[in-house]
Amino acid sequence: MNRKKGKEEKRILQLENKRKTEELNQARKLQLSMLPKDIPSLSNLDIAVYMKTATEVGGDYYDFHKSDDNTITAVIGDATGHGLNAGMLVSVTKGLFKNLAKQTFVNNIFSQFNESIHSLNIQPMYMSLHLLQIKGNQMQVIGAGMPPMLYYQSSTGSVVEIESSGPPLGGFRNFKYEKCDYKLMPGDVLVVMTDGFAERRNNAKEILSGIKHQTSDQIIEQFVEANDNWGEGNPQDDDITFVVIKVK
Amino acid sequence: MEVKITENINAVIIKLQGELMLGFEANDFQEAIRNCIEKNKKNVIVDLSALNFISSWGIGMLIHGYTTAQNSGTSFKLAAVPDMINETFRKIKINNIFQQFDSVEDALRN
């Protein structure tokens, strides 16, 4: 009798595992379907992207919008959680980005992101996000809850960290996020990354100090190699995403 | 990651140990805050002295805890925040949002 009961419990457990695996696969598919199929091509910028997803469904996201006047707006972000909820928050963020990316005042874009995500009330889910808008050699940057963005300035050969101006989006209603403005020069490199790579920031700065003659793809290759060496075969707990933009 | 919960007359003390990363601890953490509110305790104190690393998920969990407590008139205090964790808070500008104390005892006194 007990043996029969044990078999039945095992069968139910297997079915439950199968269902959960299927659910995670669906969440992963949803997350990946949110990413752009093509990277925009511009005469003055070399853009490359890398994403390595973790076993557990993370919530990394990147996207681009190119306006008729060749203004490029890029976002890279990370939903502060895992699983189906993270996938849902990413899809909401993508919807907002599609509607807001055409605007030119990035403080306003962020206020609207923050208000919309806050009003969803899917706590404890929030969205960390960096947004860059580049028109010619003018760049506006604004960040929420993201690790610092690395900016290699070719004129001085130095790397500066551009920090977020506030907490993840959706956490605090009416929070005032402030943008920073920069004038880009040929040879400058911007590296935006999610926190899956946070432990490697020192390595990242070292890599960036020697990239004068490399393309964005080659820079990414070096980051990936550094990451793999550091990880020593241990499982990856969180998604890792980079966007590298080099000014031509 | 371990969540250890103790209570005294005025507070619930939540000690987070290890690496706050994957989100499986959320239920215990949120339930402790709900309990604190239901029992009309005045303070939630989160002891971070044994925390080695915090991911974006962990930050989301703390923000949610903070807003839940604040909305019900309960104080949400962080105690013994390690330098490395505080540096993460500073970089994303949430260090000034949370009330911070050097130790759990300090947080209980203030």
Question: Closest-CA residue in chain B for A198?
Answer: B55
pLDDT at A1: 60
Tell me the shortest Cα–Cα distance from A127 to chain B, in angstroms: 9
pLDDT at A6: 83
Least-confidence region, from A16-30, A198-212, B6-20, B76-90: A198-212
Q: Is the pLDDT of residue B27 over 90?
A: no
Is the preceding omega at residue A235 within 30 degrees of 0, hence cis? no
pLDDT at A200: 47
List the single best residue of B29, B71, B92, B95 to mutate versus A (max A Cβ within 10 A): B92
Topology of domain A34-247, CATH: Phosphatase 2c; domain 1 (3.60.40)
Element (H, E) at B27: helix B26-38
**A216: Cβ–Cβ under 8 A, 6 or more apart, which residues?**
A46, A47, A48, A189, A244, A245, A246
CB B28: neighbour CB atoms within 10 A? 15
B2-109: CATH class = alpha beta
Is the ipTM value over 0.95, yes or no? no
pLDDT at A208: 60
Q: Which residue has the higher pLDDT, A157 or B99?
A: B99
Whether A128 and B92 lie within 8 Å, measured CB to CB: yes
pLDDT at A201: 47
Residues of chain A with pLDDT under 50: 199-201
**Domain edges within chain B:** 2-109
State whether residue B57 sits within 8 Å of chain A by CB.
Answer: yes
Q: Is the pLDDT of residue B75 over 90?
A: yes
For the residues of B8-74, what is the DSSP string, one character each? -SSEEEEEEEEEE-SSTTHHHHHHHHHHHHHTT-SEEEEEEEEEEEE-HHHHHHHHHHHHHHHHTT-
pLDDT at A151: 93
**Domain edges within chain A:** 34-247
State whether residue A241 sits within 8 Å of chain B by CB.
Answer: no
The two beta strands, B11-20 and B2-7, are antiparallel
pLDDT tens by residue, A80-139: 866 677 778 888 899 999 999 989 899 999 999 999 998 887 767 889 999 999 999 999
How large is the average pLDDT for residues B101-109? 94
